[in-house]
């Protein structure tokens, strides 16, 4: 396989990946005060991961407070199907909410452990033992 073929296959793969991203995700641009990215990263988050968590948590809170209204059909059709979770989610709404909170808590614990591990590495490198 020559370089031209490899380059063409690479371009096709990137194009497929970008099409899949467009199909499965909404894109938003955010302007933050100077230094915000550093503050987020210092806490062990990626900027995108932090913004996703914050937006989804706030949406969940607002939707819980808002009166239940039906979504317009157009909005329902635009939403991409989510990846299937490892275990089947409960069918009862309250159980589902608890199940989702449990997953979020597990993920937060993993994140905190990773932050602690990184902090310990930085302290060890700087001789703070």
- 3-state SS of 1-17 is CCHHHHHHHHHHHHHHH
Would you say the pTM of this structure is higher than 0.75?
no
Per-residue pLDDT of the chain (129 residues; tens, 9 = 90+): 688 888 989 999 999 998 988 888 888 888 999 999 999 999 898 999 899 888 998 888 888 888 765 555 555 555 555 444 455 656 667 777 777 778 888 888 888 888 888 888 877 777 765
Cβ atoms within 10 Å of 51's Cβ, excluding its own: 15
Distance CA 56, CA 10 (A): 34
């Amino acid at each position: 396989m020559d370089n031209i073929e490899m380059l063409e296959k690479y371009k096709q793969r990137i194009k497929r990946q970008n099409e899949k991203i467009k199909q499965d995700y909404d894109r938003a641009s955010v302007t933050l005060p100077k230094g915000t990215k550093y503050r987020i990263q210092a806490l062990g988050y990626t900027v995108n991961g932090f913004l996703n968590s914050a937006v989804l948590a706030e949406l969940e809170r607002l939707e819980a407070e808002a009166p239940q209204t039906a979504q317009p059909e157009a909005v329902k059709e635009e939403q991409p199907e989510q990846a299937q979770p490892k275990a089947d989610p409960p069918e009862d709404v309250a159980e589902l909410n608890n199940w989702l909170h449990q997953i979020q808590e597990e993920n937060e614990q993993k994140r905190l452990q990773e932050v602690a591990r990184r902090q310990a590495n930085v302290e060890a490198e700087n001789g703070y033992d």
